[in-house]
Amino acid sequence: MKIVGVAACTSGIAHTYIAKEKLLSAAKELGHEIQVETQGTIGTEDALTEKNIKEADIVIIAADIKISGKERFHGKKIVEVPTHVVIKSPKALINKIQADLGL
């Protein structure tokens, strides 16, 4: 499965980057491709490309705040969860998404 994601928290520091690392690690361990953009106090890092988004099977938005650029994902299956869900159970989340998509 090809996954793209956005991580963002209220302060834009700790939970943003922890959520990103948890998603990256879990997806790779489960054999999926993943790219994760962060939106924090220092702006956007590792911005998703149009190609990343086009090729993605799923978009995971792990955010505690409104993210910018959500319109880029029009037509894509989007799963939105708070950052704490990704931090606590990233593999369970990805496995549930995979089962729901039938991939």
- The residues annotated as belonging to the active site are 9
Q: Which residues neighbour 45 within 8 Å (Cβ) at sequence distance 6 or greater?
A: 37, 38
Q: Using alpha carbons, select from 1, 3, 20 the residue that is nearest to residue 12.
A: 20
Cα separation, 74 vs 20, whole angstroms = 22
Structure tokens at 33: 């491709």
Longest dimension (CA), the chain: 37
Q: Cβ of 84: how many Cβ atoms within 10 Å?
A: 14
